[in-house]
Amino acid sequence: MSARRAAAFVLSPDALDEESFVAAVDSPEAGGIVTFVGKVRAHARGQRIVRLEYEAYPAMVERVFADIGREAKAKFEIHEIAIGHRTGSLSIGETSVVVAVSAVHRGAAFDACEYAIDELKQRAPIWKKEHGENGAVWIEEHA
């Protein structure tokens, strides 16, 4: 088995390969890997969604992802964490965000994964525009 890989922090206009995030956190010492995969849903705020559009400030996003990763490692007993988010126009069903965490025990992995997605939504400079059947609107809360 190969050595543990460094955590990945990715902001990309390209599709996110969920398996690559799992591979980035895989470790012989890990008893489990927890992932969160966010998808573009078909309905929000009482209307049918056609697509989502994400814009971001890349240099700041990468820094925030790295900060969240360091914080998660300090707060929880985890091995690795990987975070990815899409930019651009996404269709219904496409993956918008992936968080993967490895740890000896599942509890720490679940807690760190939840912490990471919650912090990402609060702190990362990523903006979401919903294109729905009634028009398009920028969403006030973070992506």
pTM for the model stands at 0.91
Distance in Å from the first CA to the final CA of the chain: 36
Amino acid at 78: I
The domain defined by 9-138 carries CATH number 3.90.1170.40: yes
pLDDT digits (tens, 9 = 90+) for 105-143: 999 999 999 999 999 999 999 999 999 998 999 997 655
pLDDT digits (tens, 9 = 90+) for 73-115: 999 999 999 999 999 999 999 999 999 999 999 999 999 999 9
Residue 6 pLDDT exceeds 90: no
Distance, in Å, from the CA atom of 72 to the CA atom of 91, rounded to the nearest integer, reads 31
pLDDT digits (tens, 9 = 90+) for 29-63: 999 999 999 999 999 988 999 999 999 999 999 99
